[in-house]
Amino acid sequence: MRILLVNNEKDKDDFGRIPELKKNISQIVDAEFVVKHFHDVTFKDIAVYSVDYIILSGRFNSSWGKDEEPLFQGEYDLIRNCNVPLLGICAGMQLIGVAYGSKMDYICPIEKEKLSERDYVEVKLLQKDKIFKGLTSPIVVYEHHYCEIKDVSPGFIHLAASSLTPIQCIKDKDRNVYGVQFHPELYNDDYRDGRIILENFFLFC
């Protein structure tokens, strides 16, 4: 299995949570990883690297300005045209939303980074889905974000919500393209729901 990890940190030499992603995913599946920065990723990478899965990483500074927007065009193209299962995590989910016309902003535009959702949080499951197999609502998963998408794009299903962030999980109606606002890779022995979600993603998608 080969997984393309897209690094969404602003600087190419900042790998953010990529090491944790690799380590914790490797505990679930036997995989080879290809890591590309969002500046450089293109839709062609799927064929070039014979990719089986794609994961879009989060970003420690989840907001980005208009000056950065053109730099995401390759990733938007990848999201819109991918033909393999894709999971967007945190900022990765926000990028999926923006790629299809959703608005992204701070949780509270007035408070900006003063208001965040952080730590292990209860998330309510709104609909049944294969990535939630074996889980009961609410799940408990790790959050670390200041921004969110404000609406669900046409063609997507709204799967989960928390008290602070109404849109916690989305899925393309026709493809195995998922976005989660939380960090399923940051599971531990006390909070294993994120691991189960990753297991289901690789098993059923």
Q: Is 90 a catalytic residue?
A: yes
Strands 156-161 and 117-125: antiparallel
| Distance of alpha carbon 120 from alpha carbon 183, whole angstroms | 10
Alpha helices in 59-157 (DSSP H): 73-81, 91-99
- Amino acid symbol at 168: Q
Q: Which of 9, 144, 183, 199 is catalytic?
A: 183
List CB contacts of 69: < 8 A, sequence separation 6 or more. Answer: none
Are the beta carbons of 10 and 61 closer than 8 angstroms?
yes
Q: Which of 9, 117, 143, 185 is catalytic?
A: 185
Sign of CA dihedral 192, 180, 161, 113: positive
| Distance of alpha carbon 94 from alpha carbon 84, whole angstroms | 19
List CB contacts of 88: < 8 A, sequence separation 6 or more. Answer: 55, 56, 79, 94, 95, 96, 177, 178, 179, 180
Q: What count of other Cβ atoms lies within 10 Å of the Cβ of residue 157?
A: 14
Q: Which of 82, 90, 147, 169 is catalytic?
A: 90
Enzyme catalytic residues: 90, 183, 185
